[in-house]
Amino acid sequence: MDLQLSGRVAVVTGASKGIGLAVARTLAEEGAHVVAASRTAPDAPDLKVTHVAVDLMDPQAPERVVARAVEEFGGVDILVNNAGGPPPGTTLPRVGFMTPDDADWRAMFEFNLFALVRTVRAAVPVMLERGGGAIVNVSSTMSRQPSALNVDYGAAKAAVTALGKSLSEEYGPRGIRVNTVSPGPVLTDWWTKDGGAAEVIAGMAGSDKDSVISQVAPEMMRLTTGRLVHPQEIADAVALLVSPRSGSTTGAEFVVDGGQLKEM
């Protein structure tokens, strides 16, 4: 299926690895001009994108990224706000409301919400000049699944999901579609790295990292598929949502979670 993305200009944040890298690669393969924003270059030497080295915790970073897209390709048609998760230097999961202090809460919202807000603020005027565009914000099932784990992260992602609805109402009539993709647990560096989520959970469960990834986590999260989600499965959903083929889809939340959320 032709997604009609050839020649369109896409900005993807958090594009160095995991979901962001899969999204950047997929959009590039579909013919889009991709501007990849991340602190480090994408871990893919063959990937044909324009990388902008930025720390999105810097309030000025989003403007620099959008300005680079305008300089290189004349504008922005697509924005994928993927950057998020644990702020630099933070290890998740962490248990309990009392665990994160004020500084932890501020960092979590700065990285997961305010960086996204600033990136949208920078991109929207450029999109409007081109007659519209498509924005996808990457949230999380934790925005809708209350838990004593990662309370601050869940709250920040709930705000991301709510923001997407508001943006779609304001800018949909002006040609900018805004949708949300909410992944469940995705097999990324967050889980697999040394000291990552799998090792933290292994310490809690008296298990080992490989068993957590293959069995403990899927069972704990009641994943119908019995496995963690692959980054490409998120990227495929994002690519469809930013495509003109989804021209009547706005204000929607697409959950890609292996069957984690059971509620109606």
End-to-end CA distance of the chain: 31
CA 18 remoteness from chain centre: 10
As a whole number of angstroms, the distance between CA 89 and CA 215 comes to 27
As a whole number of angstroms, the distance between CA 8 and CA 133 comes to 10
Catalytic, out of 153, 171, 190, 191: 153
Q: Which two tokens stand for residue 171?
A: 């800018």
Q: Is 171 designated active site? A: no
Which residues face 53 on adjacent strands? 38
> Which H, E and C letters describe 207-250, residue by residue?
CCHHHHHHHHHHHHCCCCCCCCECHHHHHHHHHHHHCHHHCCCC
Taking the CA atoms of 117, 106, 221 and 218 in sequence, report the sign of the dihedral they define.
positive
**69 contact partners, CB below 8 Å, separation of at least 6:** 9, 11, 35, 50, 75, 76, 126
Cross-sheet strand order for the sheet of 33-38: 50-53, 33-38, 9-13, 78-81, 133-138, 176-183, 253-256
Angle at 17 between CA 163 and CA 214, to 5 degrees: 95
Amino acid at 67: A
For residues 160 and 142, the answer to whether their CB atoms sit within 8 Å is: no
Amino acid at 115: A
For residues 189 and 18, the answer to whether their CB atoms sit within 8 Å is: yes
Residues serving a catalytic function are 153
